[in-house]
Amino acid sequence: MRKQSFIEKLIEGSLNQKELTISDLPHNRRQVYKHLILNRFGTLFSVGFFNALFWLPLFGWYYFSGFYVMEKLKSSDPSQVAELLGNLMFLEYGTMVPLFCIGALGLAGMFYVIRRMCWGESVSLVHDFKKGIKQSWKQFLLIGFLFGVAVFILEYLLHQYSLKLYESALVNVMLYAGTIIIYLLTMMQLIFAFPMSSLYWIGNFSLFKGSISFTFRYFPKNLLIFLISLFPFLVFIMLPSVLFRFIGILVFLLFGAMHTAVIWTLYSHSVFDKHINRQDYPDYVNKGINPLEEQAESNNDK
């Protein structure tokens, strides 16, 4: 067996790598998460890096267009701001829609690799990343397009509200709150849409129907999972400082995205086990978890 360099191990996976045996498997999904963070962090970082490459065009354009829009608004007459806003919002966010599609292709590869890792299967990073894209690129492209359009519309509405304040404070609060809630619900659907598309051969209608259904059915728990997976990184991204925001987005691309994908995969698979897998895909139920633990729990319930 040839000796691998450190970079080769990260990209190819270790040649000594083996799939976990039943006795090696963690007993629950929390242990799966702990196992991946402690023992497979190098592979997680590598797949996160691969995914980040697909988001670099969006990252660069976000800052380039943002600085241009800011300078344009500063140099414009205040009476013209409302008239310019539509065009500037399209320039900044409307043109991001194709870039969201490119980024979503990276997510297709990353979610496939992380799914295999959560199941205790061996990973060849380049091969499996490409396989994930090949398997699910159409749906991830569609999700990226729809999410990009949603971001454009919601950002446009939020900027419009800032220019057209109503006399009633209650109306202003309701408009802002309603838009933010829609924004949040749109993002929370991704908790299920990405893992579902990566796991099943499923039509677009069933994909979005299932994602919306699970989003509302488990809303309190989804909100908690959403905050746990994203909050540490969103704190930096939401800061007014351009430098801190830049650092926050960069850290999220390299570390946060893969961390979020692990949490979303493990959580969504637990939901899929209850509502899809037990009836239609029994081989997927608790996959990557020691089945002896499941048997012990079943015996205790009797």
Nearest Cα neighbor of 140 from 98, 182, 102 is 102
What DSSP character marks residue 4? Answer: P
Please indicate, yes or no, if residue 104 is contained in any of the structural domains: yes
In this prediction, residue 78 carries a pLDDT of: 67
User: Own/partner pairs for 208-213, CB < 8 Å, 24+ apart?
Assistant: 210/276
The Cα angle at residue 44 between residues 129 and 143, in degrees rounded to 5 = 50
Distances (CA, A) of 54 to 8, 9, 195, 232, 235: 21, 22, 18, 22, 23
Picking from 54-58, 60-64, 105-109, which range would have the lowest pLDDT averaged per residue? Answer: 60-64
The Cα angle at residue 185 between residues 182 and 191, in degrees rounded to 5 = 155
Question: How many angstroms separate the CA atoms of 236 and 111, rounded?
Answer: 24
- In this structure, are residues 195 and 167 in contact, taking their beta carbons and an 8 Å threshold? no
**pLDDT tens digits for 248-291?**
888 888 899 999 999 999 999 999 999 999 999 999 999 988 77
Please indicate, yes or no, if residue 2 is contained in any of the structural domains: no
Please indicate, yes or no, if residue 12 is contained in any of the structural domains: no
User: What are the helix (H) ranges across 125-218?
Assistant: 125-163, 169-188, 190-199, 204-217
Highest mean pLDDT among 17-21, 174-178, 201-205 belongs to 201-205
Give the three-state DSSP class for 202: coil
Using only C-alpha atoms, what is the Rg of the chain? 22
Picking from 119-123, 236-240, 261-265, which range would have the lowest pLDDT averaged per residue? Answer: 236-240
- In this structure, are residues 128 and 113 in contact, taking their beta carbons and an 8 Å threshold? yes
The residue that leads in pLDDT, 102 or 299, is 102
Please indicate, yes or no, if residue 205 is contained in any of the structural domains: yes
Question: How many angstroms separate the CA atoms of 100 and 62, rounded?
Answer: 11
Give the three-state DSSP class for 76: coil
In this prediction, residue 299 carries a pLDDT of: 44
- Dihedrals φ, ψ of 3, to 5°? -85, 135
In this prediction, residue 302 carries a pLDDT of: 40
Q: Which single residue is written with the structure tokens 């677009």?
A: 204
At 23, is the pLDDT very low, low, confident or very high (cuts 50, 70, 90)?
A: low
Please indicate, yes or no, if residue 234 is contained in any of the structural domains: yes
Other C-beta atoms closer than 10 Å to the C-beta of 16 total 8
Average pLDDT, the chain: 84
The answer to whether residue 52 scores a pLDDT higher than 80 is yes
Question: How many angstroms separate the CA atoms of 98 and 240, rounded?
Answer: 26
The answer to whether residue 115 scores a pLDDT higher than 90 is yes
Q: Quick one: average pLDDT of 17-23?
A: 58
Give me the number of domains the chain comprises: 1
Please indicate, yes or no, if residue 106 is contained in any of the structural domains: yes
The structure's pTM equals: 0.85
Question: How many angstroms separate the CA atoms of 110 and 258, rounded?
Answer: 8
**pLDDT tens digits for 197-206?**
999 999 999 9
The answer to whether residue 164 scores a pLDDT higher than 90 is no
- Which residue segment(s) compose the domain that 136 sits in? 27-163+176-295
In this prediction, residue 297 carries a pLDDT of: 43
Other C-beta atoms closer than 10 Å to the C-beta of 19 total 12
Question: How many angstroms separate the CA atoms of 229 and 191, rounded?
Answer: 10
Residue count of the chain: 302
Please indicate, yes or no, if residue 249 is contained in any of the structural domains: yes
Nearest Cα neighbor of 262 from 15, 104, 45 is 45
Q: Is 67 left (phi over 0), alpha (psi -120 to 50) or beta?
A: alpha
In this prediction, residue 289 carries a pLDDT of: 86
Give the three-state DSSP class for 68: helix
The residue that leads in pLDDT, 217 or 175, is 217
Question: How many angstroms separate the CA atoms of 64 and 38, rounded?
Answer: 37
Which percentage of the chain shows pLDDT scores above 70?
Answer: 81
In this prediction, residue 226 carries a pLDDT of: 92
In this prediction, residue 14 carries a pLDDT of: 55
**pLDDT tens digits for 136-162?**
999 999 999 999 999 888 888 877 776
Q: Quick one: average pLDDT of 4-29?
A: 62
The one-letter amino acid code at 158 reads: L
Please indicate, yes or no, if residue 11 is contained in any of the structural domains: no
The structure tokens listed for 208 are: 């979005």
